[in-house]
Structure 1
Amino acid sequence: MKTVVNTSKAPAPIGPYNQAIKAGNTLYISGQIPMSTPSGELVSGDISKETKQVMENIGFILEEAGYNFRDIVKTTIFLADMNDFSEVNGVYGEYFDDQAPARETVAVKTLPKNVRVEISAIAFK
């Protein structure tokens, strides 16, 4: 069974997708960008603040679905500039303990709304 998960605490989708889909015990969270809610404004100018906003948005979606960061088993980090990796990694690491999820980080040419970081996640209970 597939269930749509959306919360007003995280930015509304900007295209034909949902914030997350729950399929069985697995939650697939769409890529989140550093957009604040409810203003809809992008957090920009400091990659650490941008990453924190992305992680907070993921947290709001997890909460809506009844999950938490410990339930995340896989993430993908997309960066517009791999030179931001160290700062992004530092903020990202604050959300996980010794059971951090599997992950890959990839550099891409551009991201939605020309942001510098986007993160997607898969959680499992």
Structure 2
Amino acid sequence: MPNKAIIHSDNAPEAIGTYSQAVKVGDTVYLSGQIPLIAESMTMVDGDFAAQAHQVFKNLASVCEAANGSLQDIVKLNIYLTDLSNFPIVNEVMGQYFEQPYPARAAIGISQLPKDALIEADGIMVV
């Protein structure tokens, strides 16, 4: 079994439970879910769904950078939405952070997220 390394970024929210921001095993990084918390204050970003989506991708980017990668290195992305009618907005916002070829992705409708967030995303990155 390859060594596992815990990845941490001060530019992403601290874990609010019993988990790490990411774990690297070999060249694969497993990114924990990010909700739209602002790292410095640990409070939810102000604004609408789009503002929350931007913050989620900024948080994921910070953790990717701490693992010596970028959003472009994500091979699988999972997005959790409390309202699937926001799906077109996710696509629009995601297009501002990702370039082709895009990662494999799932968008999943769920009833509730921590801190009443409207969106959460996690992923797997290869560096």
TM-score range, shorter chain: over 0.9
Note the C-alpha offset of 1:45: 3.4
Distance of 1:103 and 1:20 partners within structure 2: 18
Report the counterpart of residue 88 of structure 1 in structure 2.
Answer: 90
Distance of 1:45 and 1:38 partners within structure 2: 17
Distance of 2:107 and 2:89 partners within structure 1: 13
Distance of 2:74 and 2:80 partners within structure 1: 17
Q: TM-score, normalised by structure 1?
A: 0.97
Note the C-alpha offset of 1:14: 0.4
Report the counterpart of residue 9 of structure 2 in structure 1.
Answer: 7
Alpha carbons 1:28, 1:122 under 8 Å: kept: yes
Paired positions, count? 125
Q: Percent identity?
A: 38
Distance of 1:67 and 1:35 partners within structure 2: 21
Report the counterpart of residue 53 of structure 2 in structure 1.
Answer: 51
Report the counterpart of residue 69 of structure 1 in structure 2.
Answer: 71
Distance of 2:26 and 2:126 partners within structure 1: 9
| Residue-by-residue CA offset, 1:9-68 (whole Å, 9 max, x unaligned) | 100000000000001000000000000020111014311111000000011101111001
Note the C-alpha offset of 1:80: 0.3
Q: TM-score, normalised by structure 2?
A: 0.95
Unmatched tracts of structure 2, length 5 or more: none
Structure 1 counterpart of 2:6, one-letter code: V
Report the counterpart of residue 30 of structure 2 in structure 1.
Answer: 28
1:60 and 2:72 aligned? no
